[in-house]
Amino acid sequence: MAREFSRTQRVAEQLRRDLAQLIQQEVKDPRLGLVTVNDVKISKDLSYADVYVTVMGKEESQAQIDTTLKILNRAAGFLRGRLAKAIKLRVMPQLRFHYDASVVRGNYLSSLIDKAVSEDRSRQGDSEED
């Protein structure tokens, strides 16, 4: 019987949980806003981990995103060391942080759908009055 999850998937999920806590509690840069770790993808040989994050805040400007990614990539060594203490692996993957635009894209598509539905309802209302 095949396993449901591969080892890399289990390690990726553990890294995602631990990184979310570490970024929130251990990274002390005041420029760092609210960061959400959405996903972690690990290479098959466990040498690299691509961490996808979303930046939450009042305004999600490209400058804010770039600053956050720069801070996280500079703190990658520190975070990797903390993860190595918490998770017993022979090799701790190198962390590479990337911005995940799927939440923003999802909100945009949702607003387009809502707009299309409201326009459709208004057209149906106009045709019923005739």
Total-model pTM: 0.78
CA 120 to chain centre: 34
**Residues 82, 110 within the same domain:** no
**Residues 42, 86 within the same domain:** yes
**φ, ψ for residue 75, nearest 5 deg:** -85, 5
130 residues of the chain, pLDDT tens digit each: 456 668 889 889 999 999 999 999 998 888 888 899 999 999 998 899 999 999 887 566 888 889 999 999 999 999 999 999 988 888 899 999 999 888 888 888 999 999 999 988 888 876 666 5
Pairing of strands 48-56, 94-99: parallel
In three-state secondary structure terms, 35 is strand
Instruction: Give the integer Cα–Cα distance in Å for 54 and 101.
Output: 7
Tell me the residue range of the domain where 117 lies.
102-130
Number of folded domains in the chain?
A: 2
